[in-house]
Amino acid sequence: ELVFSYLELRELRSCALVCKLWHRVLHGDENSEVWRSLAARCLAEEALRTDILCNVPTYKGKVRAFHHAFSTNDCSRNVYIKKNGFTLHRNPIAQSTDGARTKIGFSEGRHAWEVWWEGPLGTVAVIGIATKRAAMQCQGYVALLGSDDQSWGWNLVDNNLLHNGEVNGSFPQCNNAPKYQIGERIRVILDMEDKTLAFERGYEFLGVAFRGLPKVCLYPAVSAVYGNTEVTLVYLGKPLDG
């Protein structure tokens, strides 16, 4: 364990394949000194001392969340990822819609992540998923995520579901659905086995928003229009049923 605590994630993955003992040492305790040490090296101090990762209970989970965070190389030129590693900041650029994808996408399995706005929504604020081919910037103030057949989104401003440039109904499907409140964490659940995308607010399951997703690599993504708004995304891992 002492030796492992000096290794980086790629090396630890290789070590876990050597034998059952090494695998058990690495994965038996997700708060071991190995994961604490790695978290201290790869995560910003802000991410560890604030409540950004409050719903990620283990150090292994925190390291995993960092590697699934927004990509600094796969976002609009009008946004940047803050030093905490999890928060997108949109610069005040007029007549532009700007988005970002995460570093890692999914083509199988079940996955959950949290998204929340830390600034004004503006006229359009969309969360959802996108393929690698979906655009992350366009002119004007539009619902970029969901504007083509390569992305699926939920506009938190008007509660509309968006795909292929069309409104696919309102969400959640209930009378007088509450509007999103700044700072409220929305949990996104992608099930590549059932090919569905669902959302939760707090501990309330809001329902399945999209069905029949294609069997391609899909990335968590957001798009925003308001200047200086900030959006945080934290990967949680496999969703908890029930």
Rounded to whole angstroms, what are the CA distances from 226 to 97, 113, 123, 173, 181?
Answer: 8, 23, 8, 27, 15
* Helices assigned H by DSSP within the chain: 9-16, 20-27, 33-42, 45-49, 59-67
Domains in the chain: ranges and CATH: 2-66 (no CATH), 71-237 (2.60.120.920)
Given a cut of 90, is residue 99 above it in pLDDT? yes
Please tell me the predicted confidence (pLDDT) of residue 178: 84
Q: How far is residue 69's CA from residue 151's CA, in Å, rounded to a whole number?
A: 18
pLDDT in tens, 53-66: 999 999 999 999 99
pLDDT in tens, 206-226: 999 999 999 999 999 999 999
Please tell me the predicted confidence (pLDDT) of residue 166: 95
Structure tokens at 126: 């969309």
Q: What is the pTM of this model?
A: 0.94
Q: How far is residue 91's CA from residue 218's CA, in Å, rounded to a whole number?
A: 26
